[in-house]
Amino acid sequence: MGTEMVNVDEIPFPPQIAIATKPLSLLGHGITDIEIHFLQIKFTAIGVYLEPKIVGHLQQWKGKPGNELAENDDFFEALIAAPVEKFLRVVVIKEIKGSQYGVQLESVVRDRLADADKYEEEEEEALEKIVEFFQSKYMKKNSIITFYFPSTSPTAEVRT
Amino acid sequence: MGTEMVNVDEIPFPPQIAIATKPLSLLGHGITDIEIHFLQIKFTAIGVYLEPKIVGHLQQWKGKPGNELAENDDFFEALIAAPVEKFLRVVVIKEIKGSQYGVQLESVVRDRLADADKYEEEEEEALEKIVEFFQSKYMKKNSIITFYFPSTSPTAEVRT
């Protein structure tokens, strides 16, 4: 297709257009870590980006402190269910093989789904796709992994 | 929120992120015009941008000439129904008041919906929104109007 403009009755049209969604705001962040023998090992830093209009869907928790909300399942459910775009930016702190990362992600997601009695064939297949996606990658320090959840689609998009 | 980077455990995160969809390609174009007393009056040039993967949904028409496809309702239906992003870029050739443009758009869309027996309350309301959107605009030559149809959402987005 090339990159030259296409003339339609003398009016130039770009041969390709990328559509940008409304900007998402960094509304939450944190890190993943473990402590071994009093030594903190940091794995990743995570930023949670959401459409600002999500606050309209979370009015009933207005003014509640963060540490209370972090343990509130209803708040989490409402946040996930809100019909807005969601985006996670994960920055690798401790380098890791993609195959390891994928298996760990599979394991924690599977356990949580099983706890909620929601781990069935479809979920297993989706997790297998994630494991496969990460299989051949290697994530050095500062590598970025993104997870994009469109507001209306049931399919998420993972990139590294 | 500002524009400064937010540090999460010394790792910088942008305060806002805009998600871009995959690029859409200019797969069709044309103009709208009328002829009055042998004089051609051109109104707009239109570019049709689609995700390239749409060709996979249109295999049964492969190799058919364009003039045949232009009159084929089944082809049009399949194109509209394909679960891909669609984007129209309309460039104004002959300047027009937004109020006029809106009313003309309403009129042709209403007639086509009515022909297909699909013009009901919901459609009427949606068209009223379009008329209202254009009401206060004035479109000079080279103004751009875009219509964006996400692949999964029933709501289109109009911008000028």
Please state the ipTM of this predicted complex.
0.75
Contact by Cβ (8 Å): B8, A33: no
- B128 part of a folded domain: no
- B121 part of a folded domain: no
How far is the C-alpha of A84 from the C-alpha of A70, rounded, in Å?
Answer: 20
- B10 part of a folded domain: yes
Q: How do residues A72-102 score in pLDDT, each as one tens digit?
A: 989 998 998 898 889 999 999 999 999 999 9
First to last CA, chain B: 27
- B132 part of a folded domain: no
Residues of B in contact with A26 (CB under 8 A): 1, 6, 13-17
Of all residues in chain B, the percent with pLDDT exceeding 90 is 59
Secondary structure of B63-131 in the HEC alphabet? Answer: CCCHHHHCCCHHHHHHHHHCCCCEEEEEEECCCEEHHHHHHHHHHHHHHHHHHCCCCCHHHHHHHHHHH
Q: What is the pTM of this model?
A: 0.61
Residues of B in contact with A89 (CB under 8 A): 13, 17
DSSP tag of A44: E
Q: CB distance B18–A29 less than 8 Å?
A: no
CA torsion, ordered B108, B111, B113, B119, to nearest 10 deg: 120
Residue-range definition of the domain harbouring residue A21: 6-95+140-159
Long-range contacts of B103-106 (CB under 8 A, 24+ apart): B103/B131, B105/B130, B105/B131, B105/B134, B106/B130, B106/B131
Q: Which tokens belong to A9? A: 């009755």
How far is the C-alpha of A85 from the C-alpha of A62, rounded, in Å?
Answer: 21
Min CA distance, A17 vs chain B (Å)?
Answer: 5
Distance (Å) of CA B121 to CA A6, A69, B106, B110, B111: 40, 42, 14, 11, 14
Q: How do residues A96-123 score in pLDDT, each as one tens digit?
A: 999 999 999 999 999 999 998 999 999 9
Torsions phi, psi for A84 (to 5 deg): -135, 160
Mean of the pLDDT values across residues B153-160?
75
- B44 part of a folded domain: yes
| CA angle (A145 as vertex; B7, A87 as ends), nearest 5 | 75
Contact by Cβ (8 Å): B157, B148: yes
- B33 part of a folded domain: yes
Nearest chain A residue to B151 by CA distance is A153
Torsions phi, psi for A123 (to 5 deg): -65, -40
DSSP B136-152: T-EE-TT-EEEEEE-SS
Return the closest-CA partner of residue A7 out of B26, B32, B141, B148: B26
Reply yes or no on whether the pLDDT at B152 is more than 70. Answer: no
Nearest chain B residue to A33 by CA distance is B9
Q: Which tokens belong to A19? A: 């559509």
Q: CB distance A21–B25 less than 8 Å?
A: no
Quick check: B53 contacting A, CB < 8 Å?
A: no
Domain at B68, CATH number = 3.50.70.10
Residues of B in contact with A47 (CB under 8 A): 6, 8, 13
| CB contacts < 8 A (A, B) | 114
List the alpha helices (DSSP H) in A47-120. 66-69, 73-81, 98-115
How far is the C-alpha of B54 from the C-alpha of B143, rounded, in Å?
Answer: 28
pLDDT at A1: 47
Reply yes or no on whether the pLDDT at A153 is more than 90. Answer: no
Quick check: B5 contacting A, CB < 8 Å?
A: no
Q: How do residues B36-80 score in pLDDT, each as one tens digit?
A: 888 999 999 999 999 989 999 999 999 999 889 989 989 998 998
- A55 part of a folded domain: yes
Residues of A in contact with B17 (CB under 8 A): 23-24, 26, 49, 87, 89
Nearest chain B residue to A13 by CA distance is B47
pLDDT at A155: 74
Q: How many domains does the structure of chain A reveal?
A: 1
Give A10 or B88, the one with higher predicted confidence: B88
CA torsion, ordered A20, A21, A22, A28, to nearest 10 deg: -110
Quick check: A31 contacting B, CB < 8 Å?
A: yes
Q: CB distance A15–B1 less than 8 Å?
A: no
Return the closest-CA partner of residue B32 out of B116, B88, B78: B88
Question: What type of residue is B39?
Answer: L
Quick check: A83 contacting B, CB < 8 Å?
A: no
- B27 part of a folded domain: yes
pLDDT at B21: 66
Q: CB distance B19–A85 less than 8 Å?
A: yes
